[in-house]
Amino acid sequence: MQLFGFYRIGTEHEKFGFEFKTLRPMNYEQIAELLNGISERFDWDKVIEGDYIIGLKQGKQSISVEPRGQFELSGAPLETLHRTCAEVNSHLYQVKAVAEEIGIGFLGIGFQSKRGIKDIPVMPKGRYEITRNYMRKVGSLGLDMMFRTCTDQVNLDFSSEADMIRKFRAGLALQRVRTLIFCHPLKFSALQISN
């Protein structure tokens, strides 16, 4: 019996790239070099927009560049968590193999607190220009969300509305546990004491 009736699991994994020597965010030229290197060494197909390489595809997985250079793996829909884990590990191995040669490292953190929006290079993707203009007109933190955040995401298949509701509720219940695991150690201690 399957507890939640999982069919496929897809994950998305974003990370911030930075120069080892200066700790500055990667610029587009470095990202293009990284994408071209991964494509040539590990047999990924290039995704081109105008004159720019903006991503890679291999089977049902893709690598994309987010508005300020966040580097993202959009994984294939897979049958088990073990396959998802293997996919992410393979991706990280490939990225690291090429990135280290050009002096780039990565951090999988949720928010870029050390650099303001003006200090981070903008990627040459048409839709980001449209989105950036829209975000300036609504609210006050949309640009920070676009340019200064990274996430990990999980996508789950569901067979019915009831199945989707069960999975959604399980995900909500697990959010607190995930927050506790990844928050600052001092905050973790305070949360443990207060519960």
Tell me the pLDDT tens digit for each residue of 125-181. Answer: 776 676 766 677 777 776 666 667 777 788 888 888 998 999 899 988 988 887 777
Please check whether residue 67 is in contact with residue 128, taking contact to mean a CB–CB distance below 8 angstroms: yes
86 and 167 share a domain?
Answer: no
| Nearest in space to 8 (alpha carbons), one of 84, 113, 100, 66 | 84
121 and 78 share a domain?
Answer: yes
d(CA 87, CA 84): 5
Tokens of residue 119, six digits: 């200090």
pLDDT greater than 60 at residue 1: no
**pTM value?**
0.77
Tell me the pLDDT tens digit for each residue of 36-70. Answer: 999 999 999 999 998 999 999 999 999 988 877 78
Quick one: how far is CA 148 from the chain centroid? 12
d(CA 32, CA 157): 33
Number of domains in the chain: 2
Full residue range of the structural domain in which residue 191 is found: 160-195
138 and 165 share a domain?
Answer: no
75 and 165 share a domain?
Answer: no
